Structure 1
């Protein structure tokens, strides 16, 4: 037995990689396909939303804008006293409406009910639910929830984390497989339909590899388990987005207005602002004098008597404008300021990476790039399933005594290689638990199939 192992320890890496690539593609490919397709739809929806909600978004183009105080009062009358005013987004340009945003019962976290007010005529143009810093509207919110959690709530987030966790590994593994057999490309032409499919599959995968790794890594920042670990790692390396102190209490270090992933803090404390609607105009003027010059911005009232108001830029296109100031409503002094140009490079890259992932950073070119990559990934997954289907096993087929399974190839590895792979798998499983659990499931399925006397063996996607 020893001699057999010693003579068979060569060439186990490639068959093992093929088997793992196959399992990941077969069992996770469907989730990757759904995430990619919904991601493509999400990237293309801003223009659709502008058409669907033209009434709410469009104002009279002629005339001077009325004070924000008057617009807030109109919105308050429209929604009623039951809602808590959370923020105001002044009309960024002529012909656009002001959003007065309220916290109301029945909305999901990070959602607000927005009253759209014509800043010139003070007419209410409509009322819609909006989400996050990006201000997505109902149509895009629906696609966003589909992309992130299949409309299944917290449980559904495991699907997107599973897809994002495996996407980079499948992509890099595919490139390694292509590199190993690149000399066989011409010979594959004689293999018929499946050979042509494999050629298209591998070529497309190599072209998309960098983009797929990028979407995988940035997508993981939103995930439940891996995302928390990424945030912790960033904090330890001092790569976090600088916080904005809103505390007016002496000796208090303040609280962060981070929420850089595009979410608002939901709190019943946002109550003390209807007494002085004129503060919105005063805060806007003070913020402008402090250097907040973006057209797209948000004014958020103080959370309580010991907190400052916040005026924050929300233009995440290029060049990125996300500066923010905290203003004491009693003295109108700036108590803290957050300047994007002063962010650490890692924090800037994180901001740009997230915005590029969402198709925001460069406008419509970014949208088209994200949509094209996502749709190409759908084609890549479909080609993989088609290759398996062409060589799927017959239901009555028997498996050889030494099936080509994961454990078959692992037994050929040296002890050092086994130890190294175990450590890597363990570390990846700790950092991305969903991937770790799914890998364990893959191995259990492989072992179970290997123990069956007459199993149905999937054919390798070679």
Structure 2
């Protein structure tokens, strides 16, 4: 991640001490005089250095917290074993009896939002909404399906229903427990990660074509980066889909290209009017289908514009609705049943087993007739939607179970090591050449340093050395990417400001150093 310095006049030359030259060669990313570099390659080198120095801490935090998140499921199974699992034997109670036990535990004011029936050896999870919970949180009451005993009462997070420990780590990984403001840190790391990976790959390829062998630490840094490159690109792409600003732009792009994940239509058909003597009022024109909306006290009726109150929940419908979904092809053992949020909406049954990439089918069931109104099958997803589903599950460590977790942990540790090695190289360079030397490369062993006090030009200075056509291309690309990834665009402006300040301080220090 270090940057080459510019050469100067021979009159100011002084040789490096052998030990200093050895350390400098290890920290230097280039073994040739900087003037021999192509200007575009020199710009990429300086940009790679700036990303490592300024964004490296954010990448380090994201990598380490991601490792902890990936390895948490096994720990959760130990900590929350009583809530998750049961040794009870015998036939399961009906779902309405299990729900009644959970409702008694949660209280009459708690509003039921979903039920996840028990599988072999596990407990039923009944989830409630509560006004004092944060967005995406719900209260989960765990019920022994055989006895009806309450086995646990926990706050779970997200559509995956992660338990408190992993939910805390997820919030730290996502936003340092600082809410929307903290999410800027993870978006900054994801926005620059792909640039650092691609830039490092280009630098590795370019230096392979030049004579000389890189030093040990720099060689290890480059080799590890080459091994991790594909994974780092994957983490950057999937991480950006969850980001606050870039994620919104990605959502618009996916919708425009019809890459969005299909959802089932939950709008109930209007009932067939009964024959009557009085003339019937004109039928309302149905509006386009809308995605499921979050729980609210009242919802507007999209047909008439009047408020539609939440329907009274009939717990006896859970089993018939699940049976209708089974007949429609929902075959996974792990499913989630959601009652409607308004009287004009259908029930939904969704597969939630993320260990296998095809268990995400969903159906909408009419509670009046138990007819299946709509079906969403993974086999019918567009390719982009399938890749998105696989990418999200792989990023969370749920795809294929333990193998996915170990792979995530390996990539996270590798990224952390990359960042630490980069700082180690910068520190060695700083120790040899001083504070300004952290951004300046040192010439090869035995070559005199022509201007020991002069700082190498930063990205802005190197940008000016490009031809005007290349400058226009680079500037246009930066504007387009900065608009699509706003956090990256703002950080580029910060880089430029830092570069201007450091350049001004370097120029002011030259007379003092020469004197």
Q: What is the TM-score of this pair, normalised by structure 1?
A: 0.90
C-alpha deviation, 1:273, in angstroms:
6.2
1:416 aligned partner = 469
State how far apart, in whole Å, the 2-side matches of 1:436 and 1:120 are: 57
Is the alpha carbon distance of 1:255 and 1:416 closer, same or farther for their aligned partners in structure 2, counting shifts above 3 Å? same
2:311 and 2:343 in contact (8 A); partners too: no
State how far apart, in whole Å, the 1-side matches of 2:314 and 2:418 are: 57
* Mapped pair 1:22 → 2:41: no
Match of 1:175 among 158, 181, 201: 201
1:394 aligned partner = 434
Q: Secondary structure at the match of 1:135?
A: coil
State how far apart, in whole Å, the 2-side matches of 1:313 and 1:111 are: 20
2:365 and 2:371 in contact (8 A); partners too: yes
1:9 and 1:412 in contact (8 A); partners too: no
1:343 aligned partner = 381
**Correspondences of 1:124-143 after superposition (within 5 Å):** 124-143=150-169
* Mapped pair 1:253 → 2:288: yes
Of residues 26-35 and 332-341 in structure 1, the stretch that sits farther from structure 2 once superposed is: 332-341
C-alpha deviation, 1:223, in angstroms:
0.4
Match of 1:72 among 89, 96, 99: 99
1:82 aligned partner = 109
C-alpha deviation, 1:38, in angstroms:
0.7
State how far apart, in whole Å, the 1-side matches of 2:179 and 2:347 are: 32
State how far apart, in whole Å, the 1-side matches of 2:164 and 2:85 are: 17
Consecutive unaligned residues of structure 1, counting only runs of 5 or more, are 1-7, 189-194, 258-263, 458-462
**Correspondences of 1:107-118 after superposition (within 5 Å):** 107-118=133-144
State how far apart, in whole Å, the 1-side matches of 2:436 and 2:221 are: 29
Aligned residues: 437
Match of 2:326 among 288, 310, 323: 288
C-alpha deviation, 1:81, in angstroms:
1.2
2:189 aligned partner = 163
Of residues 424-433 and 226-235 in structure 1, the stretch that sits farther from structure 2 once superposed is: 226-235
State how far apart, in whole Å, the 2-side matches of 1:396 and 1:411 are: 21
C-alpha deviation, 1:456, in angstroms:
8.5
Q: Secondary structure at the match of 1:129?
A: strand
C-alpha deviation, 1:249, in angstroms:
4.9
State how far apart, in whole Å, the 1-side matches of 2:63 and 2:107 are: 41
1:318-343 C-alpha deviation (Å, 9 max, x unpaired): 24211111111111111111111111
1:325 and 1:336 in contact (8 A); partners too: yes
State how far apart, in whole Å, the 2-side matches of 1:301 and 1:352 are: 27
Match of 1:227 among 220, 226, 247: 247
Q: Secondary structure at the match of 1:295?
A: coil
Higher RCO structure (Cα 8 Å, ≥6 apart): 2
Q: Secondary structure at the match of 1:187?
A: coil
1:105 aligned partner = 131
Is the alpha carbon distance of 1:96 and 1:399 closer, same or farther for their aligned partners in structure 2, counting shifts above 3 Å? same
1:243 and 1:255 in contact (8 A); partners too: no
Q: Secondary structure at the match of 1:452?
A: helix
Match of 1:436 among 489, 493, 506: 489
C-alpha deviation, 1:105, in angstroms:
2.2
State how far apart, in whole Å, the 1-side matches of 2:380 and 2:103 are: 37
Match of 2:149 among 123, 126, 143: 123
C-alpha deviation, 1:267, in angstroms:
3.1
Match of 2:354 among 297, 301, 316: 316
1:18 and 1:177 in contact (8 A); partners too: yes
State how far apart, in whole Å, the 2-side matches of 1:293 and 1:30 are: 45
Q: Secondary structure at the match of 1:130?
A: strand
1:209 aligned partner = 229
C-alpha deviation, 1:255, in angstroms:
2.2
C-alpha deviation, 1:275, in angstroms:
4.5
Q: Secondary structure at the match of 1:305?
A: coil
1:449 aligned partner = 502
1:363-398 C-alpha deviation (Å, 9 max, x unpaired): 110110011001110001000011001111425989
C-alpha deviation, 1:58, in angstroms:
1.3
CA RMSD of superposed structures (Å): 2.2
2:15 aligned partner = none
Is the alpha carbon distance of 1:366 and 1:455 closer, same or farther for their aligned partners in structure 2, counting shifts above 3 Å? farther
Q: Secondary structure at the match of 2:233?
A: helix
Q: Secondary structure at the match of 2:249?
A: helix
State how far apart, in whole Å, the 2-side matches of 1:434 and 1:402 are: 28
C-alpha deviation, 1:451, in angstroms:
1.3
2:295 and 2:341 in contact (8 A); partners too: no
2:29 aligned partner = none
**Correspondences of 1:2-21 after superposition (within 5 Å):** 11-21=38-48
State how far apart, in whole Å, the 1-side matches of 2:508 and 2:163 are: 50
Is the alpha carbon distance of 1:182 and 1:453 closer, same or farther for their aligned partners in structure 2, counting shifts above 3 Å? closer
* Mapped pair 1:267 → 2:302: no
Of residues 281-290 and 405-414 in structure 1, the stretch that sits farther from structure 2 once superposed is: 405-414
Is the alpha carbon distance of 1:122 and 1:367 closer, same or farther for their aligned partners in structure 2, counting shifts above 3 Å? same
Q: What is the TM-score of this pair, normalised by structure 2?
A: 0.81
State how far apart, in whole Å, the 2-side matches of 1:185 and 1:94 are: 63
State how far apart, in whole Å, the 2-side matches of 1:185 and 1:151 are: 49
Is the alpha carbon distance of 1:274 and 1:127 closer, same or farther for their aligned partners in structure 2, counting shifts above 3 Å? farther
